[in-house]
């Protein structure tokens, strides 16, 4: 019987137990696929094939035997056609079902005709997908921006479908509604200003807290594509700003999830420098004299872990971007850790997005509406590189990152991003922070607190995360000391990379013992240079090396520690 490919007829209405189970399972699977299809929401960055099928099984990839079992109660199933795909079956039905009477019955059914049309449609769509992919187009934005001849190369049915899909994702009613954070936009926008001034009286420098924004900030001079502080422009004896403090009622985005009590954003000359560079980029972007093919600059803000890049630099950039001309820059996106926030300067609202829709999809929607914006991506908490979908066309972006080459190198090359290397806070910056923290306390208490913090800074370096809290300091100094004592000279020399630029900084020793400072090499392009983080750890490390290294190697290593290399900007 098997050898003759004979069809075994089944009594209608009395299927055997095995077939009943097959049909029940098949229908259950179909219902589950339908449920997933209805729930699935595609986004503007989803590839074109997924947009078309929305999670459904491909019709032309189904087996003929499954189709006959599910739709026609198993009529026509034989051993030789069990593994035949529907696409092959519809090319030559008589090849796979030789019983003419049975084939005529199958072909006369509505199921057969609808399935045949579906397979033909998928074959056409697959052909169009290949044409688009050959031209580098694999998602809706890519097709929208493609040349006219690329768009015209597909069939009309494909064109109409993709046009409708693009319109759907552009329409905000088709996306999942974000969570609105009431009152948070106003909190950041209306953050209160204070500043600490430094006044020299000939015997030393005194520091005093003042309300409001300082009358004048720091002066900078252009060096290559960035800036450096111009100390020569400051007037001798005049009250100079040492630190600016911004305080919103509800804190900054980095603390909204944890509801932390720390609400102050400390702005020293390094944080202000980062904003000035970004502001210059925006000025160039919106200049009427920019070229036809001008694209916004992408930046990396690189600095030692724990010095306040998220708390201070990220928060200050957000504040200033919200105050930038709303007509030119109506949107600001802020991504930190698993949280994404979108600040709408037109409606003065802030929304939070989680996974679906992703922030890059939302940003792309605004781009297609012609809305410009800027994205701050904080990679210090994300522990991953920015998504390949960021930044979208027409938006600027800055990535805040530790000096770990592995974290940012791929994205930097892809987007042609330029580094802004931020130095650690100076001693007087930290002193000004202490003055601010103890501003309402007696002078004696202020002096004692500064003495305590200064001692901690001498031991572990200007790591703001570790010097203001005793427990955090104790944990840090213990970990640093164990790192030095538990390492051999060869391990210290190999893993620290002192005096090197752009070294991968992803090992435990480097995170505890090193800081980065800004240097300029070659064409005045700034780069991060690795140095030991504090005088105490420098002595401990050199002592350890002196005991184990040959004298010539130790002297050479000391030259690296002293930073005998191109200009360093402390």
CA angle 405, 535, 220 (to 5 degrees): 60
Per DSSP, what are the bridge partners of residue 526? Answer: 520
3-class secondary structure, 445: helix
Along the 570 residues of the chain, how does pLDDT read in single tens digits? 344 444 444 444 444 444 445 444 544 554 444 444 344 455 555 566 665 555 445 555 677 777 777 666 677 777 777 788 877 887 888 888 877 777 787 777 666 776 777 777 777 877 877 877 777 776 665 666 666 676 777 777 777 667 766 666 555 544 456 788 999 999 999 999 999 999 876 666 789 999 999 998 899 999 888 899 988 766 665 678 999 999 999 999 988 876 555 789 999 999 999 999 999 999 999 998 887 667 888 999 999 999 999 999 999 999 999 999 999 999 999 988 778 899 999 999 999 886 555 777 778 777 777 789 999 998 876 555 666 667 777 799 999 988 877 666 766 777 788 889 999 999 999 999 999 999 999 999 999 999 999 999 999 999 999 999 999 999 999 999 999 998 888 888 777 766 665 545 457 788 899 999 998 877 778 888 888 999 999 899 888 877 665 554 545 555 555 544 445 555
Q: pLDDT at position 83, please?
A: 80
Q: pLDDT at position 449, please?
A: 97
Distance CA 389, CA 49 (A): 18
Q: What dihedral angle (degrees, nearest 10) is formed by the CA atoms of 516, 521, 525, 530? A: -10
* CA neighbor of 410 nearest in space, from 432, 388, 382, 427: 388
Distance CA 36, CA 41 (A): 10
* CA neighbor of 417 nearest in space, from 425, 409, 427, 429: 409
Q: Is the dihedral of CA 440, 442, 447, 453 positive or negative?
A: negative
DSSP state of 213: S
**Rounded alpha-carbon distances, angstroms, from residue 478 to 460, 469, 474, 483, 520:** 10, 14, 6, 9, 34
Tell me if 420 sits within 8 A of 301, measured CB to CB. Answer: yes
**Rounded alpha-carbon distances, angstroms, from residue 521 to 8, 71, 413:** 82, 72, 19
For 275-320, what is the HEC assignment?
A: HHHHHHHHHHHCCCCCCCCCCCCEEEEECCCCCCHHHHHHHHHHHH
The side-by-side arrangement of strands in the sheet containing 418-421 is: 179-180, 349-353, 339-344, 331-336, 373-378, 395-401, 298-302, 418-421
Helices (H) and strands (E) in the chain, counts: 25, 17
The strand pair at 395-401 and 514-521 is best described as unpaired
Per DSSP, what are the bridge partners of residue 528? Answer: 518
Contacts of 218 (CB under 8 A, 6+ apart): 229, 230, 241, 269, 272, 273
The strand pair at 205-211 and 192-200 is best described as antiparallel
Tell me if 139 sits within 8 A of 47, measured CB to CB. Answer: yes
For 466-505, what is the HEC assignment?
A: HHCCHHHHHHHHHHHHHHHHCCCHHHHHHHHCCCCECCCC
Q: pLDDT at position 320, please?
A: 98
Cβ neighbourhood burial of 288 (10 Å; 0-12, 13-18, 19+): exposed
Q: How many residues does the chain have?
A: 570
258: its two tokens: 């944890």
Tell me if 308 sits within 8 A of 468, measured CB to CB. Answer: no
Tell me if 570 sits within 8 A of 519, measured CB to CB. Answer: no
477: its two tokens: 């100094």
63: its two tokens: 């087996």
**Does an H or E element contain 529, and which?**
strand 525-532
Instruction: For tokens 């990220």, name the residue.
Output: 314
The strand pair at 298-302 and 395-401 is best described as parallel
How far apart, in Å, do the first and last CA atoms of the chain sit?
Answer: 89
3-class secondary structure, 368: helix
Q: pLDDT at position 159, please?
A: 73
Q: pLDDT at position 46, please?
A: 59
Tell me if 182 sits within 8 A of 191, measured CB to CB. Answer: no
Work out the number of other CB atoms within 10 angstroms of the CB of residue 263: 19
**Rounded alpha-carbon distances, angstroms, from residue 490 to 494, 495, 543, 555:** 6, 8, 14, 15
Instruction: For tokens 């998602």, name the residue.
Output: 139
Tell me if 133 sits within 8 A of 148, measured CB to CB. Answer: no
Distance CA 371, CA 341 (A): 16
Q: pLDDT at position 5, please?
A: 43
**Does an H or E element contain 382, and which?**
helix 379-382
Distance CA 181, CA 259 (A): 14
């Amino acid at each position: 019987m098997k050898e003759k490919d004979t069809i075994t007829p089944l009594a209608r209405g009395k299927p055997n137990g095995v077939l009943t189970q097959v049909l029940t399972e098949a229908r259950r699977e179909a219902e589950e696929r339908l449920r997933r299809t209805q729930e699935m929401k595609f986004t503007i960055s989803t590839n074109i094939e997924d947009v078309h099928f929305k999670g459904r099984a491909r019709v032309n990839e189904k087996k003929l035997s499954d189709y006959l079992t599910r739709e026609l109660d198993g009529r026509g199933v034989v051993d030789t056609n069990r593994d035949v795909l529907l696409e092959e079956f519809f090319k030559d039905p008589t090849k796979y079902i030789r019983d003419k009477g049975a084939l005529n019955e199958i072909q006369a059914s509505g199921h057969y005709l609808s399935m045949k049309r579906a397979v033909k449609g998928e074959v056409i769509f697959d052909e169009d997908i290949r044409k688009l992919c050959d031209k580098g187009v694999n998602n809706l934005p890519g097709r929208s921006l493609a040349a006219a001849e690329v768009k015209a190369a597909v069939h009309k049915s494909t064109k109409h479908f993709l046009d409708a899909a693009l319109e759907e994702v552009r329409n905000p009613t088709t996306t999942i509604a974000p969570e609105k954070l009431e009152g948070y936009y106003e909190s950041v926008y209306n953050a209160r200003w204070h500043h600490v001034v430094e006044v020299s009286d000939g015997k030393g420098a005194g520091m005093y807290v003042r309300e409001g924004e300082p009358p004048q900030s720091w002066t900078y001079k252009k060096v290559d594509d960035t800036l450096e502080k111009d100390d020569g422009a400051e007037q001798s004896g005049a009250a100079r700003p040492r630190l600016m403090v911004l305080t919103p009622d509800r804190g900054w985005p980095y603390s909204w999830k944890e509801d932390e009590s720390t609400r102050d954003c400390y702005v020293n000359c390094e944080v202000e420098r980062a904003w000035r560079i970004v502001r210059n980029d925006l000025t160039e972007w919106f200049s009427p004299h920019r070229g036809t093919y001008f694209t916004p600059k992408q930046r990396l803000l690189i600095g030692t872990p724990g010095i306040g890049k998220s708390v201070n630099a990220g928060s200050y950039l957000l504040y200033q971007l919200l105050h930038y001309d709303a007509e030119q820059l109506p949107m600001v996106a802020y991504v930190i850790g698993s949280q994404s926030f979108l600040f709408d300067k037109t409606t003065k609202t802030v929304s939070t997005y989680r996974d679906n829709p992703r922030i890059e999809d939302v940003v792309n929607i605004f781009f297609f509406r012609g809305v410009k914006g800027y994205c701050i991506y904080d990679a210090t908490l994300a522990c991953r590189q920015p998504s390949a979908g960021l930044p979208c066309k027409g938006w600027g972006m800055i990535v805040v990152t530790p000096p770990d080459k592995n974290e940012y190198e791929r994205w930097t090359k892809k987007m042609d991003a330029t580094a802004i290397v931020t130095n650690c806070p100076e001693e007087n910056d930290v002193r000004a922070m202490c003055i601010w923290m103890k501003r309402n306390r007696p002078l004696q208490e202020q002096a004692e607190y500064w003495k305590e913090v200064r001692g901690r800074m001498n031991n572990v370096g200007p790591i703001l995360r570790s010097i203001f809290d005793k427990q955090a300091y104790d944990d840090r100094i213990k970990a640093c000391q164990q790192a030095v004592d538990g390492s051999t000279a060869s391990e210290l020399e190999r893993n620290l990379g002192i005096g090197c630029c752009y070294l991968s900084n992803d090992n435990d020793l480097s995170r505890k013992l090193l800081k980065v400072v800004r240097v300029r090499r070659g064409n005045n392009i700034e780069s991060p240079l690795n140095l030991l983080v504090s005088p105490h750890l420098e002595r401990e490390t050199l002592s350890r090396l002196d005991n184990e290294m040959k004298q010539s190697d130790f002297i050479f290593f000391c030259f690296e520690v002293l930073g005998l290399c191109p200009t360093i900007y402390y």
